[in-house]
Amino acid sequence: MTSESTTPADSRVAVAFCCLGNICRSPMAEAVMRHVAKDMEMSHVVSEIDSFGTSGFHSGDSPDRRTVQTCLANGVPVNHTSRRVRPSDFEKFDYIFAMDRENLEDLKYMQPRGSKAKVMLFGVYSEDARLDKIVSDPYYGGPDGFQRNFRQLDHFARTFLKRIAAGTA
Ligand code: 4NP
């Protein structure tokens, strides 16, 4: 049996999500991961969930209202303050998930040599060919972009946690 009290601290994973502005996609990803971990009764497996942006354009801002609305419409609360990625994040987190290829390239460029974080597209955790692996920037589009992002993030989070449980993440 696995429970909070029997999960060794060193087997837990710390995960973070990264987009450009840290007001649309990555705070949504953070909220979805927290929700999905609870839903799958795996909260004890994840020691930390956070998000940040490659830019500091919106540092200090709350999530975009469209992110908040989309999450709430899907039963997921959002609570975050935007910040830029820091060098220490690459040592703090086991996984840093980029939303798109530009985020991924920027993160890889910023990653201090030898730091522990595995930096990858979150979309590598897709098992549904109908879902794009890229979580596209929804900022200048309509609400459908946010809902599409939500469906992707929910699926990727479930696949990631399933693979963590199986030891194949
Ligand atoms: P995010 O979306 O990277 O998903 O938070 C964006 C938010 C703001 C801007 C671009 C993308 N912006 O240009 O201000």
Every domain of the chain and the residues it spans: 3-166
What does the alpha-carbon distance between residue 76 and residue 110 come to, in Å, rounded to a whole number? Answer: 31
**Identified catalytic residue from 50, 64, 89, 137:** 137
**Identified catalytic residue from 18, 24, 25, 154:** 25
> What predicted TM-score, i.e. pTM, was given to this entire model?
0.95
Ranges of residues in the chain with a pLDDT under 50 are 1-5
25: annotated active-site residue = yes
71: annotated active-site residue = no
Do residues 17 and 122 make contact, with C-beta atoms less than 8 angstroms apart? yes
The pLDDT value recorded for residue 8 is 73
And the tokens for 143?
């609400």
CA of 7 to the centre of ligand 1 (A): 37
pLDDT in tens, 37-81: 999 999 999 999 999 999 999 999 999 999 999 999 999 999 999
CA of 26 to the centre of ligand 1 (A): 10
Which atom of ligand 1 has the smallest separation from the CA of 19? 3
19: annotated active-site residue = yes
CA distances from 133 to 9, 128, 136, 149, 156 (A): 31, 9, 9, 10, 9
Is residue 13 classed as helix, strand or coil in its secondary structure? strand
Contacts of 140 (CB under 8 A, 6+ apart): none
Tokens 């459908």, residue located: 144
Q: Which residues line ligand 1 (CB under 6 A)?
A: 19-25, 57, 137, 139
CA of 110 to the centre of ligand 1 (A): 19
The pLDDT value recorded for residue 2 is 45
Do residues 4 and 155 make contact, with C-beta atoms less than 8 angstroms apart? no
CA of 21 to the centre of ligand 1 (A): 4
Domain 3-166 CATH class label: alpha beta
